[in-house]
Every structure is written in C-alpha cells, then in structure tokens.
Structure 1
Amino acid sequence: MLDLGASINVMLTSIYKCLNFGGLEPIGMTIQLANRSVVQSLGVLEDVLVQVNELIFPTDFYVLDMEDETSGKGSTLILG
C-alpha cells in the first residue's frame, strides 16, 4: 500500500462570504466526498494563511456550495 497524501482543504461558501476574501480562481474541478456524493467546486482560494499554534502555513482552499449543517454551532473548515 502506498499513501500518496492526496487531500484537499475545503471551505463552505457561507464561510467564504463571511470572511470577505477576494475573488475565487476559477477551476473546473469535481470532488467526490466521503459519502460518495459529487460536488462541483466554485473555485479555489490560493495561499490563505492558516495558523496552528505558532506555525503559519499558506494553504489553498476549494470553496464548495454545500448546506452548512453546523448553523449556530460554529464554522466548519476541513483541513485535509
């Protein structure tokens, strides 16, 4: 077995709008989720700075237009 480390970082559209980032880089990417549903990415945000403790990483986020099931419980970002 070989793990190629294939993963992506996901941001919901509701979070993207709330954070008021600039425009999305258009990308024609279809993503299959863990539940085998398929969604179309609205675009990618490149080089978003994410801080974990004292470390800061530039990270790309794929923005997905999906229902936010955490309404009232906080925000969801998926770091893959």
Structure 2
Amino acid sequence: MSPKFPTCVRNHRPGPGDVWHINEVVVKIAGGSYWRWRAVSQYGIVFEEILQSRRYKHAAKRLPIKLINRWGFIPKRIIAD
C-alpha cells in the first residue's frame, strides 16, 4: 500500500453535510441499561457516539458544540430525536 493512499482517501470523503441528527437510545448490556447518544450526518457519516451508564443530559447538550468545534462547520439544522 502506498503512503499516499490514506491521504487520498481522507481528502475525498464527503463533508459533514448541512443536517445533523442526534439520537438517544437505551441499550441493554449485560443486564444493565445504558444510554447511547449518536450524532450522524445526512449522508450517514457517524461523527460521535457516547455510551453512558446513566442519562446525563448535560453531556448530550455538549455534543453538538464539541462537533462544531471539531469540524469547524455550523450545520443549518440539528435534529434531535
């Protein structure tokens, strides 16, 4: 594999998109309930996933701000389920 290959792939991936979806799902793992927060673009790119043992709403509210700072892009819409 050429050393240029990862750089080429990284440069040709789609951008974050104008619409972001943030989901909250309760997941059972080993008999315990966990909350999974996930941020996805309109193109299906998963930005971030957070798994918490308790529902910590403050961390979920920080998630879009963290993503905006990381990607340097403000979406037109953020849809929260």
TM over 0.5: no
Please, what TM-score do these two structures have when normalized by structure 2? 0.28
Structure with bigger helix share is 2
Which structure has the larger Rg over C-alpha atoms? Answer: 2
TM-score, L = length of structure 1: 0.28
- Higher RCO structure (Cα 8 Å, ≥6 apart): 1
